[in-house]
Amino acid sequence: MGARLPLLLQPTCPTADDRGISDFLRLAAVLGSARWVELVLATADGAESRHYLSGHPDGGATPVALDAGQDFRADLRLGGAGEPGTEALELLSGVLSATLERHRLRTQTSLLREALDTTSSSILLFDGRGDIVYANPPADRLLSLQTEDELLAETDDGERQPLVTLLCAVVGRVASGTASSPSWKGRLRTADGRVMACEATRLAADERRADAVVVLLQPIGAEPAVRIDAFTALHHLSRRESEILELLMEGATTLAMAERLGISPHTVRDHLKNIYRKTATSSRGELLGMLSRNAAASEDHARG
């Protein structure tokens, strides 16, 4: 028995407007020189759908069973035509099986995308060339920080470098592995004090496609905890500047800050400039690094 791809969902029948099924019906009409075509699909759990070409069929055409794979039963009726020959039936069965498989993959892809979009973890997919081809919303927000202001990160055994550069290095290491499904697991620390569990796994491809690598980044805490109130008092920040600082620690972008606070992005940038001036810093990464160092020093002093 051959290997079967795992199903995330029970098989579902295509909708009446499915383009693949419409193309199949036109092909069946041409091959059978039929006035009208009816296709009835049914799944093992009893779900059924009927698809028509050239209006509702009349009587007189005998249903012909097609081989549509193990998940579907398919009956085809061709109006005004004789029973299709063996070669035509084989062709129609092959086209229908491929059409239903594409429907299954589209359905599962939609489900997976919805699931990935709702998770709090950052998920990125790199292609065989090392380019990012997919990022879910948390990952997209993380990447936006990289574009607004270089976000530095480091592994337990590596030097600090831009986050995207670090991830590309990890992906390159995994992609060049010789095992069937190599992976890398570790922790990443960013300059703003966040700690993330990182797992990169190579998705094996075939001879026509290069391997892809999926990267999962899951927040596991902040190191160290930043005392916003103490930092605000030390550098004489205003209430609004303190709010900006808190959102900065959450990883919010300039646009997200503006929406949360009900002000314009231009005003957010002005507040950031004032914070940089008061703290003698020049970037988000430098400011967040100072916050982390001050918090660590406060904790060391408290323990002493």
CATH class of the structural domain 228-303: mainly alpha
Whether 171 and 213 have beta carbons less than 8 Å apart is answered as: yes
The band of 303, judged by pLDDT with boundaries at 50, 70 and 90, is very low
pLDDT at residue 295, as a whole number: 57
Count helices and strands (H / E) in the chain. 9, 11
Q: What is the mean pLDDT of residues 132-153?
A: 82
pLDDT at 302: 41
Could you give the 3-state DSSP secondary structure of residue 195? Answer: strand
- Sequence-separated contacts (24+) of 50-53 with Cβ below 8 Å: 51/14, 51/16, 51/18, 51/21, 51/22, 51/25, 52/25, 53/22, 53/25, 53/26, 53/28, 53/29
Tell me how long the chain is: 304
The dihedral over CA atoms of 155, 158, 161, 164, expressed in degrees to the nearest 10, equals -50
- Tokens representing residue 193 in the block: 């004090």
Q: So what's the pLDDT on residue 192?
A: 67
pTM of the model: 0.55
Q: What is the homologous superfamily of the domain 119-222 according to CATH?
A: PAS domain (3.30.450.20)
- Helix (H/G/I), strand (E/B), else coil: 11: coil
Whole-number percent of the chain with pLDDT over 90? 30
DSSP 8-state code for residue 5: P
Residue 97: pLDDT above 80? yes
Q: Quick one: 76 exposed, middle or buried, by C-beta within 10 A (0-12, 13-18, 19+)?
A: buried
State yes or no: pLDDT of 95 exceeds 70. yes
pLDDT of residue 23: 94
Q: How does pLDDT run across 65-80, given as a tens digit for each residue?
A: 999 888 899 999 888 7
The pLDDT value recorded for residue 263 is: 94
What pLDDT, on the 0 to 100 scale, is given for residue 208?
56
Task: Give which of 222, 247, 224 is closest to 295, Cα–Cα.
Answer: 224
Confidence of residue 216 (pLDDT cuts 50, 70, 90): very high
Q: Provide the pLDDT for residue 207.
A: 55
Confidence at 92, pLDDT banded by 50, 70, 90: very high
Write down the domain spans for the chain: 19-116, 119-222, 228-303
Highest mean pLDDT among 57-66, 133-142, 179-188: 133-142
116-128 average pLDDT score: 86
| Helices 265-279 & 239-249 angle (0-180, nearest 10) | 100
Q: Are 43 and 74 in contact (CB under 8 A)?
A: no
Superfamily of domain 19-116: GAF domain (3.30.450.40)
- Residue 100 corresponds to which tokens in the numbers above? 């239903």
Of 27 and 83, the structure prediction assigns the larger pLDDT to: 27
Find out whether 174 and 215 touch, Cβ atoms under 8 Å.
no
Q: How far apart are CA 211 and CA 243, in angstroms?
A: 44
Q: Do domains 19-116 and 119-222 have the same CATH topology?
A: yes
